[in-house]
Amino acid sequence: MSTVREEYEPHGEAHLPAEDQAHPGPREYVLIAVVLAVITGLEVALFYVEFLSSTAVVTALLLLMTIKFALVVLWFMHLRFDPPVFKRLFVTGLVLALSVFLIVLLTFGAGLGPAILAVAFVLVVLGVLLGRPRFLRRA
Amino acid sequence: MAGDAVQVPHTATGLDNRKLGMWAFLGSECLFFGSLIATYLLYRGRSVQGPFPEDVYDIPYTSVSSFVLLMSSLTMVLALNAIQRGDHRRLRAWLLATALLGITFVGGQVFEFTVFVREGLTLSRNLFGSSFFVLTGFHGAHVTVGILMLLTLYGMSLAGRLPSERALRVELVGLYWHFVDIVWIVIFTVVYLIPS
C-alpha cells in the first residue's frame, strides 16, 4: 500500500526531507551542561568585575548569553541534528521578535545606541549559528 | 524518533505535524517574551520612586536559581535519551529529577517575590515593579505548566502508558522545557546582570 510520502516522493529516500541525524549521547549532554555551568559562573563573575568598562561588560555578557542560548537550542533541542524546517520556524519567530524589539527601542528609547548595537550583534550571531549558512556547512 | 517513524509517512512533508506545531508555537512564544523583555528594557531606569533594581536584587541567590534551571535541561534531555533507548526506569528518574529542579526554581521565585514585596516592591509600586513582575511572573507560569506536563509524563510512564513508540511525547515536552530555560538565560542576563 503506498503511503502519502510515496505519492509525493515517488523516487524514494533520496528525495525525502532530511531525517533526524543521530542525536548525541549522555556524555556529550553532560559535557554541554558543564560548559553551560562554567559560562554561567563567568557571567556572575563579570557582574562583580570593576576594572572593565560597562560597555565591555555588557558586550561580554551578551556574547556569553548568546553562546548559552545557542548551545541549548542546537544540542539539547536538537536543532543541529533535526530537519532544517524546524530551525526555520524557530528562527523566523526569533528574528521577528528581535526586529519588533529593536523597532520599539528605537522608537521610544533614548540613548540606547550601545544596547541596540549589542542586540544587533546577538541577532547576527544567532542567525549564523541557527541558519548554518552554506560556507559553514561545507566546513 | 525510531518509535514515531511509523507515523511520519502519513504527512505530506514527511515530518510529524505535532513536532512542526510545537516549533511554530515556540517561534510565537519568542514574540510573546520578546515583547515583555522589550517593555522591561524600555521602562528600565524610568521609575521615579524606589525600590530600584539595585535595592532588591540578590545576584548570588538568583545565580543559584539559574543554575538549577539550567541543570534541569540536562536531566530533561537525559530523560529523552532514556526513552529512546527503551530504559523506562531511567526515564522516570530523569523526569522526576527535572520536575523537582523545576519546583525548586519556582519555589525560589516565590521566595524572591515575597522578599521583594516585603521590601516595598509591588506590581503597582513603580515601572520597575510592573515590568519585572509581569515578565518573571509569566516565565514562572510557563515553568509551572512545564512541571505539570513532566509529572503527567511521569504518571503515564508509571501506568505503563508511555512506551518507547511514544517517545515523541517526551520530546515535545522537552522542547517546551528547554524553551523556558533559554528564556531564563536571556532574562538572567538582560534583567539581572546588565547594570542599568
Structural domain contains residue B186: yes
Would you state the pLDDT for residue A97?
Answer: 83
Would you state the pLDDT for residue B183?
Answer: 96
The CATH number of whichever domain residue B76 belongs to comes to 1.20.120.80
For residues B38 and A105, is the Cβ–Cβ distance under 8 A?
A: yes
Q: Is A69 on the interface with B (CB under 8 A)?
A: yes
Would you state the pLDDT for residue B120?
Answer: 93
Name which of B22, B59, B73, B76 to mutate to probe chain A: the one with the most chain A Cβ atoms within 10 A of its Cβ.
Answer: B73
Q: Measure in Å the smallest separation between the Cα of B193 and chain A Cα atoms.
A: 6
Structural domain contains residue B150: yes
Question: Which residue of chain A is at minimal alpha-carbon distance from B41?
Answer: A105
Would you state the pLDDT for residue A125?
Answer: 62
Contacts of B23 in chain A (CB under 8 A): 86, 89-90
Question: Which residue of chain B is at minimal alpha-carbon distance from A76?
Answer: B77
Give the closest residue to A26 by CA, choosing from B80, B67, B173: B80
Would you state the pLDDT for residue A119?
Answer: 66
d(CA A68, CA B73): 12
Contacts of B77 in chain A (CB under 8 A): 29, 75-76
Task: Using the predicted structure, report yes or no on whether residue A139 has a pLDDT greater than 80.
Answer: no
Question: Which residue of chain B is at minimal alpha-carbon distance from A103?
Answer: B38
Averages of pLDDT over each 10 residues, chain B, 196 residues? 49 84 92 90 84 92 96 97 95 97 98 95 92 96 98 96 93 97 95 83
For residues A92 and B27, is the Cβ–Cβ distance under 8 A?
A: yes
Would you state the pLDDT for residue A94?
Answer: 84
Q: Is A73 helix (H, G, I), strand (E, B) or coil?
A: helix
Q: Which residue segment(s) compose the domain that B39 sits in?
A: 8-193
Q: Using a pLDDT cut of 70, give the percent of chain A over it.
A: 63
Q: In chain B, how many domains are there?
A: 1
Contacts of A63 in chain B (CB under 8 A): none
Q: At what angle do helices B88-118 and B167-187 cross, to 10 degrees?
A: 30
Torsions phi, psi for B124 (to 5 deg): -105, 10
Would you state the pLDDT for residue B14?
Answer: 77
Would you state the pLDDT for residue B119?
Answer: 94
Structural domain contains residue B2: no
Structural domain contains residue B3: no
DSSP B20-47: HHHHHHHHHHHHHHHHHHHHHHHHTT--
Q: Is A65 on the interface with B (CB under 8 A)?
A: yes
| pLDDT (tens digit per residue) in A95-137 | 888 877 777 777 776 555 556 665 666 666 666 666 655 555 5
Structural domain contains residue B123: yes
Indicate the pLDDT class of residue A9, thresholds 50, 70 and 90: very low
Q: How many CB atoms lie within 10 A of CB B195?
A: 10
Would you state the pLDDT for residue A12?
Answer: 36
Task: Using the predicted structure, report yes or no on whether residue A5 has a pLDDT greater than 60.
Answer: no
d(CA B138, CA B157): 29
Would you state the pLDDT for residue A95?
Answer: 82
Task: Using the predicted structure, report yes or no on whether residue A22 has a pLDDT greater than 80.
Answer: no
DSSP B139-164: HHHHHHHHHHHHHHHHHHHHTT---G
d(CA B144, CA B184): 14
Structural domain contains residue B17: yes
Structural domain contains residue B131: yes
ipTM over 0.85: yes
Supply B191's cell numbers.
Answer: 534583567
| pLDDT (tens digit per residue) in A74-87 | 999 998 888 888 88
